[in-house]
Chain A
Amino acid sequence: MRALELKNLYDDFRDGDTIKAYAKIIAQDAKKLKNPINIMEVCGGHTHTIMKFGLPQLLPNNINFIHGPGCPVCIMPKERIDHAYVLAMQEDVILVTLGDMIKVPGSNGSLQDARAKGADVRFVYSPMECLKIASENPTKTVVFFAIGFETTTPMTAVLVDQVIKQKVPNILFHINHVTVPEVMVELIDSRDEHVDAYNNRIDAFLGPSHVSVIAGSKIYEKFPKDYGRPVVVTGFEPVDMMQGISMIVKQFVEERSELEIQYKRVVNYKGNLTAQALIEKYFEKISLFRWRGLGNVPDSGLKLRDEFSEYNAEIVYKDILPIAEIEDHKLCICGDILRGMAKPQECTIFGTACKPTSPIGSCMVSSEGACSAYYKYGNLI
Chain B
Amino acid sequence: MCLSIPSKVVKVSDDKMMCTVDTMGVQRDANLMMTEEGDVQVGDYVLLHIGFVMNKIDEEEALASIETYREILEAMNEEERRRAIIDDDNCENR
Contact = CB atoms under 8 A, between A and B. Distances in A.
Does a CB–CB distance below 8 Å link A and B in the complex? yes
B2 A209 contact: yes
B34 interface: yes
Interface in B60-90: 61-67, 69, 72-73, 76
B44 to A, nearest CB: 11
Contacts of B52: 126, 154-155, 158
A236 interface: yes
B50 A127 contact: yes
B55 A152 contact: no
Given A151-B49, A151-B54, A128 B31 contact: yes
A210 interface: yes
A24 B63 CA distance: 23
Interface residues of A, number: 55
A8 B66 contact: yes
Contacts, number: 131
B72 A25 contact: yes
Contacts of A1: 63, 67
Contacts of A236: 2
B55 A18 contact: no
Residue from B45, B50, B61 whose CB has the most chain A CB atoms within 10 Å:
B50
B72 A22 contact: yes
Residue from B7, B66, B72 whose CB has the most chain A CB atoms within 10 Å:
B66
Contact of B8 (A6, A208, A272, A274): A6
Given A9-B57, A10-B6, A274 B73 contact: no
Nearest to A152: B1
16 contacts: A6-B23, A6-B24, A45-B3, A72-B1, A126-B31, A126-B51, A129-B51, A152-B50, A154-B34, A155-B49, A210-B2, A210-B47, A213-B47, A214-B55, A266-B55, A275-B54
Interface of A: 1-2, 4, 6-10, 12-13, 15, 17-18, 21-22, 24-25, 43-46, 70, 72, 98, 125-129, 147-149, 151-152, 154-155, 158, 161, 208-211, 213-214, 236, 239, 243, 264-266, 272-275, 278
